[in-house]
Chains A and B, each alone.
Chain A
Amino acid sequence: MLNWIWLGLIVIAIAVATGRDISELSQDRFRNGKGIPLQLTADILKETSPDHFTASVFITKRNLSGFYSPDELKELKRDTVFGTIDIIAHSKSATKILGTASLNLSSDAPIIWKDIANAQGEEKKITGEVIDMIQEPLSGSRFAILIPEQVKFRILAKVANDGLFKTAETAVTIALGLIGIMALWLGIMKIAEAAGLITLLAKMAKPLMVRLFPDVPPEHPAMGAMLSNMAANFLGLSNAATPLGLKAMEELNKLNPNAGTATNAMCMFLTINTSAITLIPATVIAIRLSLGSKTPSDIIIPTFIATLVALTCAVIFNRFIQRFFPIKPAND
């Protein structure tokens, strides 16, 4: 099952990214290689240091729509888009400057510009070449023509960079971040075990647990570990829940005759865990409060009922379908 989900996610991701990239290239969405005419606001370039120039620039919506496909500019709010441009000149004369440039975008820049910036690895900056400064003969307005670096296969690049490399790093950060909290709760758990508290907990909830996990002996330490995980989840102690849950998995695995394959009890335990039943969804309430909700905690009751119903349905469903997933003894 996980094999298919995993394969599916990867294949769909690459197929979608390739498709979107090819469609962008075939429509020439970014007008690669063409220059954007940016008009200088005060018709002057300020020389901040030798060969470094800066100016505030603008482009009208009309000029933009002559340049990009009109669909790109639908969400544009104003008729003029402003920005500032920094130029490092390679050659200059009285009327003309050639150089590399970066256009700093304002917050109301069109999405296509933000996409170009992102493809170049920036938030709000488009880099490229400035090829000319045209003094329009009639009006005397001055333009900087910016040719952005070409944008090709940006989504595939994003899939590789953000999707693969960054998440691989995140995964390790998450795992390593668990070490401390894991050590803490596993230590506490060990004391509770030695003090006989886990067995006591298991005895108290025995009627329920025996029905949920018929394959686990009622007095087995796995029962107590699973219960303490459920209690932690219920009280919203999410950083305690994971270590206790992993402890429970370890105990359940001691009863597993086929290493590497999940037992019925493991699947049931996972199902209960993913139903996320919680007394108080504290994070959500905090966010609602910060966003100015007048009654931030009125979501507690619907949340609780939703999780309770989901939990009950999922437990029944899980029990029902387990027969369709027989355990194949590992021989590969």
Chain B
Amino acid sequence: MIELLKILSTLAVPLVILLIVTVGAFKKVKVYEEFVEGAKEGFTTAVRIIPYLVAMLCAIGMFRASGAMDILTSALSPFTNAIGIPSEVFPLAVIRNLSGSGSLGLMTDLAKTYGADSFIGRLSAVMMGSHETTFYVLAVYFGSVGVKKARHAPLSGIFADIISVIISVILVRAMFL
């Protein structure tokens, strides 16, 4: 089953492209010309997000470099312990919203230190697998269309993250402990 899913995800890209191009050709679309026309936007879109990305990543970078994370973690630890998140894993729950590479490093560290198949190792893997760097997505997606007023999007994003952390803890406890 899992092998099948893996094969599926490897084949997805070539198959999708083959499907699109053949259907296009079948419908008499000038595939090459259309491709180039669409691809033109790639550069402008990428360049357009630079200011938003710089603003967001710099603020996050400063926050991480200052060590404020440790203070936040220890301040919240009574609360997180109460809902069953081990204090070793909690920094991952915070950092996965802020930095993709940072959380990947932290998850690898945790799995290395405590063992990949330990409770902490599994929990960090589930948290990592269910994460999205919310603030990066916010900056890039809204930045690409020049949206500066994000309204309730950050709040819903954070809400989704909190829920997924809590569910991860409950599930990993129930399944592996």
Contact = CB atoms under 8 A, between A and B. Distances in A.
Question: Could you tell me the dominant secondary structure of chain A's interface residues?
Answer: helix
B129 A278 contact: yes
Contacts of B63: 9-10, 12-13, 163
Contacts of A13: 59, 62-63, 65-66, 68
Given A171-B53, A175-B47, A10 B35 contact: no
Interface in B119-156: 121-122, 125-126, 128-132, 134-135, 137-138, 140-142, 144-156
Nearest to B111: A291
Contacts of A2: 138, 148-150, 154
B116 to A, nearest CB: 4
Contacts of B128: 281, 283-284
Contacts of B140: 242, 246
Nearest to A242: B140
B17 to A, nearest CB: 6
A159 B155 CA distance: 27
B55 interface: yes
B151 A1 contact: yes
Interface string A176-197: 1011101110111111111111
A188 B153 contact: no
Nearest to A312: B163
A251 to B, nearest CB: 10
A158 B68 CA distance: 13
Given A6-B59, A262-B149, A292 B116 contact: yes
Given A164-B62, A171-B58, A317-B159, A182 B42 contact: yes
A274 B137 contact: yes
Contacts of A167: 54, 57-58, 60-61
A190 B122 contact: no
A294 interface: yes
A31 B46 CA distance: 48
Contact of A305 (B27, B64, B104, B167): B167
A172 B38 contact: no
Interface stretch (A139-147, A205-213, A322-330): A322-330
Given A180-B42, A186-B39, A270 B56 contact: no
A35 interface: no
B54 A171 contact: yes
Interface residues of B, number: 98
B16 to A, nearest CB: 8
Contact of B59 (A9, A155, A183, A242): A9
A310 B116 contact: no
A249 B141 contact: yes
A163 B24 contact: no
A299 B122 contact: yes
B39 A267 contact: no
A282 B145 CA distance: 30
Interface stretch (A14-22, A47-55, A96-104): A14-22
3 nearest A-B residue pairs (beta carbon): A190-B38, A183-B42, A281-B129
Interface of B: 2, 5-6, 8-9, 12-13, 16-17, 19-21, 23-24, 26-27, 29, 31, 34-43, 45-47, 49-50, 53-68, 71, 104, 107-108, 111-112, 116-117, 121-122, 125-126, 128-132, 134-135, 137-138, 140-142, 144-157, 159-161, 163-164, 167-168, 171-172, 175-176
Given A288-B121, A305-B167, 10 more contacts: A13-B59, A172-B50, A191-B35, A237-B13, A245-B141, A281-B130, A306-B130, A306-B164, A321-B152, A321-B156
19 contacts: A5-B135, A9-B63, A13-B66, A14-B62, A16-B67, A159-B65, A163-B65, A164-B62, A178-B46, A180-B42, A188-B20, A253-B147, A260-B149, A261-B147, A262-B149, A267-B153, A269-B141, A274-B138, A325-B152
